[in-house]
Amino acid sequence: RLIGVVSELLSKGPLMGGFWLAVSVLIGLFPAVSSAPGSSVVAAVSTACDALPDTPVPADAVIGGFGPSQFLGDVDGDGHKDVVTGYWTGSADPELADHYLHVELTSGWGTAILIDDLAQFSNFPMATPGRVVDMAGQRLIVAGVERNADGASFAFFSFRDCALAPVPLAAGGYPVMRTAGGRAHSTWFACRPDEMVTLDLFRGLDDQGELIPGVLVGGEALSYRLNPNGFGPPTPIELGLPRTDVDLHGEYPNCSGFVGSFVDDDDSVFQTAIEWLALEGITKGCNPPVNDLFCPERSVSRGEMAAFLVRAMGYVDDGGGNRFVDDDDSVFESAIDKLAAAGVTEGCNPPVNDRFCPERSVSRGEMAAFLVRAMGYVDDGGGNRFVDDDGSVFESAVDKLATAGVTQGCNPPVNDRFCPDDNVIRGQMAAFLNRALG
């Protein structure tokens, strides 16, 4: 059996927001789920389900298509982790295939439901793992049903009486919760003891019109109370804004389990940009061949920079290859030659410039020069944007990068410094590329 993720996901830090929260409705997919009030999930399902025959994943199932597509969680309440996975089968085209959500218990028995009308979602089963939560006496599976570079959509499924079904809205249909991240908004949902709370909040601007980091000043929060028959109608919640990200996420922890392509960026402020980088095919990860890590805090090497830019810009001409004498043993040699052929780099040892220094870390000033050449930025906005780059050979490139909106500085909220000599970390590089190209 395929197990893509072997740990149950816990609540995570703030996601910085890119699109508005929606609680939309899937109409008429499944009958409503009901159960007796106050019934025990553990007593109701664990013994009976263990006695049922196996229901294996079909041999022709396509499990996910991008990153891990399974997770472990105690679905039946017997104290052991079970495998939850999504897959599609029956067609080479996922839009024409049958889609399933499947639970495989530690006893070997599995249950699967057919999801036959998800045309509005582009890639179910989603490659992002979910989690199992306890709410109002029920054990619910939080499963992803769609994602893009900004975030993801999730739905709740209930496993009761050895059956799997989506949890409905009291008014009909099924709720789909969005979670997203970005500079201006923060959108997530929280699973509380007897309710699901959706939050769609935004940041304010300072006197210079810049976003105030770490503080949420407006938006709305809605409570959907869970009862045996499903989620009730939305009720507004007063949050007492403005409040900090940390404060709000402490009171309303994100329970989506949205972790995206990598397992090491969940607490990173750059997660949204990193996800975009992966979805665009600009990064594969930092630990091949597994590539489930991104290493967001690690410095970017010049070889990695070459690979990022070549993939992002689509460079294919290597100018005949072998442009530099020091990259023959580098996995990035092909990308380096293409970067040089495109005129984005000349080398690292002027005026000779027969070396590229692929293993050396990239400074923020060098990064500015690379991006300015690649993007063709020419407007410096009058120059002298920052106070700490006057003696830098990269000052002109830094000013052009700031004018293009790709950088704001390195010392928020003042942002009058660029730190041109500091190394660029991989998370920052994802953000720079996202602003330049996303």
**Residues of the chain above pLDDT 90, percent:** 42
Residues near 58 by Cβ (< 8 Å), separated by ≥ 6? 87, 89
Predicted pLDDT of residue 32:
31
Residue-averaged pLDDT of the chain:
79
pLDDT band of residue 214 (cuts 50, 70, 90) is: confident
**What mean pLDDT comes out for the span 330-356?**
95
d(CA 178, CA 176): 7
pLDDT at 24 over 50: no
Question: Which tops the pLDDT comparison, 193 or 254?
Answer: 193
User: Which residues are 73's β-sheet partners?
Assistant: 82
Predicted pLDDT of residue 180:
75
d(CA 438, CA 386): 25
d(CA 201, CA 188): 9
CA dihedral 364, 366, 368, 372 (to 10 degrees): -170
Question: Which tops the pLDDT comparison, 82 or 48?
Answer: 82
pLDDT by residue (tens digit) across 287-303? 887 676 789 999 999 99
**What mean pLDDT comes out for the span 334-340?**
97
pLDDT by residue (tens digit) across 102-137? 888 877 788 887 765 444 444 444 444 467 888 998
| Cα dist from 207 to 211, 212, 219, whole Å | 10, 10, 20
pLDDT by residue (tens digit) across 33-53? 333 222 333 333 455 777 778
pLDDT at 7 over 90: no
**What mean pLDDT comes out for the span 387-391?**
94
**What mean pLDDT comes out for the span 362-375?**
96
**Residue 390: burial class (beta carbons within 10 Å; 0-12, 13-18, 19+):** exposed
pTM for the predicted model, two decimal places: 0.53
Two tokens, residue 201? 């909040």
pLDDT at 241 over 90: yes
pLDDT at 370 over 90: yes
pLDDT band of residue 217 (cuts 50, 70, 90) is: very high
pLDDT band of residue 280 (cuts 50, 70, 90) is: confident
d(CA 107, CA 371): 54
